[in-house]
Each structure stands twice: as C-alpha cells, then as structure tokens.
Chain A
Amino acid sequence: MIETTGLGALLVIGLMFLVTLSTRLGGVFVMSYIPISYRVKQFIQAMSGSVLVAILAPMAVTGDNGARLALLSTAIVMLLVKKPLPAITVGIATAALYRML
C-alpha cells in the first residue's frame, strides 16, 4: 500500500505511465526478434481485426439496447456508405435518440 498524499500519487501515476509505455513499445521489441515469415504475417493480419472484435463483443452483449442499436446502425451505414464518419455519427445519434425515448 502506498499513501496518495503529496508525492505518493505522482509516483503511482509515474509508474502507470511506465507500465503503459512498456505495452506500447513491448510488442515492437518482441517482434524485432521474430522473423516475419508468411505464417507470422497471416497471424498478425488475423489478429489485427480480432483485437477490435474482442473489444466490441462484450460491449454488444452486456450493453443496453441503446448500445446495441448504435453498433447495429453503425455497421449498416458503414456497409452502405463505406465512410467511417457518417457511420459513427448515425451510431451515436441512434444511441442518444433511443435513450431519450
């Protein structure tokens, strides 16, 4: 346990910074020791979309109906228009509208 009075809090924040920075740089560091074979490339490519899906899945399942409708409308507009900004705007507006009603 550490006191958050005075410099204690800044110490905690400083260490949080170092931990977060290590996650930003660590993946690059590890990869510099792994030869980028075709298979590694395929792993990376599959993983890149999967990161996003893994963030989104619990959001969709545990969220309220406003959240679900927001995601659904974003996906539909994105498929139709293929531009992220209109898709996001419609998604947010849908959530706001649903929660207002």
Chain B
Amino acid sequence: MPLNSNNIDPSKLPQLDKHLIWKGFLQLVPLSFFVIAFGIAFGLAAKQTGLSSTESMAMSTLVFAGASQFASLELWGPKVSLITILITVFAINARHLLMGATLYPWLQHLSPFKRYGVMFLASDANWAMSLQAFTQGKPGFGILVGGGLSLWLFWIFGTWVGLYFGNLISDPKQFGLDMVMGCFLLAMVVGGEKNIRMLVIWTVAASASLIAFWFLPENTHVVLGALAGGAVGIFWLNKKEESNSDD
C-alpha cells in the first residue's frame, strides 16, 4: 500500500481510513502502556471507595476521562449529590470543548456523522498529537481515532487489573508515573512552534491559569488559562501565516 502521508496536500489532511487509524493506534501504544498504570490506580481507588467491579468498569468505559473519574471518587459515598458530581465532571472536562474547537478547521471537511464520531474518544494525548500532525501538514484524524482507541482500551484494561490485582502498583508516584501525562503534554508544547508571540501567549496562559487555580472556583483554571492565551492570539496576529493561510 503506497504511503502518501508525506505529500503536503491540504485536501488530503482530513482523510481517514483503516490504515491511518491503525497507524495512529500504533503511534499511541507506547504512551498507552503508561496509561495502564493510571488505570490500575483508578481501579484500586474505585474499589476502595466502594464501587462494584461493574460500576468501575462502566465508568472507565463510558466516561474515559481519568482526572474527572478520580474527582468523582472523592465525592462518592452511600449517597451522592448528583449536581455536585456532574458540575465537577463538566468543569474538569470542559477543556474538551476547546479541543473540539481547535480541530474544527479540519473537522469541517468531514461529514457531520464522521465529524462528531471522531470526537468520541478525544482526550489530551491523542488530541495533542493529532493537532501536531495537522499543523505539520500530515493527516491527523487517524491519530485521533486510532490513538483514542489505544488509550481507551488500555485505560479499560488497566482499570480491570486495578480491580483484581490493585496492589501491584499501589503508589504510582514512587515510579514517577504521576508525571507521564505532564511530561507528555510538555513535550508537545516544546515540540510546537516557538517564537516570541507563542512565548507571550504561553506566559499569559500560565499566569491566568495560576491566578484561577489560586483564587477562582476549583477546576476553572484550564479553560480560563486557555481562553486568556487564545485572546492574546486574536490581538497579536501571526503575520507570517497571513499570506499562505488556506482555510
């Protein structure tokens, strides 16, 4: 099968087929192995919180958003406040709204069915890599879908391991495993475009995030930081791209 992913042809970028999905799946497998460790930690924590195995597995399978799942355990008990849990889950996962928006320039070329379909398994890692692929002129939806499948399956598997063999890794922190996602996301930032404009945008985003983190309601910092950074981008336009922007 000929590989044409190196040709920079904008009309080909939104393409999505089995081959690209499989490639994306394989690309995220190494990171997904680390995700097993998080899954184990979640399965163990869910069991200790008192969720049944079915409930824990259902949560990892359906929700598939680690940080919000851990947060929901903090709020769990014999009786839970539905509104509090749902608001917390929404606040932590609101960053997905921005992820969908950032992919829209490429998503708009897909049929509505595919456009929403590819977003079902969107999470931090596969979104960041797929966006990086697009900005480098490569097709990215294979990474979003295939990578999402990889992360999802390993997350579910990890949860299962945690439920039954949870004590294998009782303290992921000791092995630095709590830093997997942080290091990965930072590598994505550092690997991206670097210039004065981006540096200012990142500084504003970081400052806004920290201010929100310390002084505003919990879990608002990611969205506010991202919007603050985005706002800088509106007013300080990237002159270089202006001439060759195509969509």
With contact pairs A25-B116, A41-B105, A46-B233 given, residues A55 and B95 touching in the complex (Cβ less than 8 Å): yes
A residues lining the B interface (CB < 8 Å):
1-5, 9-10, 12-17, 19-32, 36, 38-39, 41-59, 61-62, 66-67, 70-71, 74-75, 78-79, 82, 84-85, 87-88, 91-97, 99-100
Q: With A and B bound together, what is the CA distance between A75 and B149 in angstroms?
A: 27
Q: Which residue of A lies closest to B49 (CB)?
A: A4
Q: Are B234 and A39 in contact (CB under 8 A)?
A: yes
With contact pairs A4-B80, A54-B208, A92-B175 given, residues A44 and B237 touching in the complex (Cβ less than 8 Å): no
Chain B positions 47-65 with a Cβ under 8 Å from a chain A Cβ: 50-52, 54-55, 58-59, 62-65
Chain B 192-217 near chain A by CB (<8 Å), digits 1 or 0: 11000010011011111110010000
Chain B positions 132-181 with a Cβ under 8 Å from a chain A Cβ: 135, 173-180
Contacts of A57 in B (CB 8 A): 205-207, 209-210, 213, 221, 225
Interface residue count on the B side (C-beta < 8 Å): 102
With contact pairs A43-B234, A79-B190, A95-B176 given, residues A53 and B62 touching in the complex (Cβ less than 8 Å): no
Q: Are B205 and A26 in contact (CB under 8 A)?
A: no
With contact pairs A50-B201, A56-B185 given, residues A28 and B119 touching in the complex (Cβ less than 8 Å): yes
Q: With A and B bound together, what is the CA distance between A9 and B238 in angstroms?
A: 49
Q: With A and B bound together, what is the CA distance between A48 and B179 in angstroms?
A: 21
Shortest Cβ distance from A44 into chain B, in angstroms?
A: 5
Q: With A and B bound together, what is the CA distance between A30 and B101 in angstroms?
A: 8
Among B100, B177, B206, which residue has its beta carbon within 8 angstroms of that of A31?
B100
Q: Are B234 and A66 in contact (CB under 8 A)?
A: no
Q: Are B80 and A52 in contact (CB under 8 A)?
A: no
With contact pairs A24-B122, A50-B226 given, residues A43 and B96 touching in the complex (Cβ less than 8 Å): no
Q: Are A78 and B187 in contact (CB under 8 A)?
A: yes
From B89, B179, B230, B231, residue with most partner A Cβ within 10 Å: B179
Contacts of A91 in B (CB 8 A): 176, 179, 182-183, 186-187
B residues lining the A interface (CB < 8 Å):
30-31, 34, 50-52, 54-55, 58-59, 62-65, 68, 72, 76-82, 85-86, 89-90, 93-105, 107-108, 115-116, 119-120, 122, 124, 128, 131, 135, 173-180, 182-193, 198, 201-202, 204-210, 213, 221-234, 237-238, 241-242, 245, 247
Contacts of B99 in A (CB 8 A): 24, 27, 51
Q: Are A58 and B209 in contact (CB under 8 A)?
A: yes
Q: With A and B bound together, what is the CA distance between A16 and B51 in angstroms?
A: 15
Q: Are B230 and A23 in contact (CB under 8 A)?
A: no
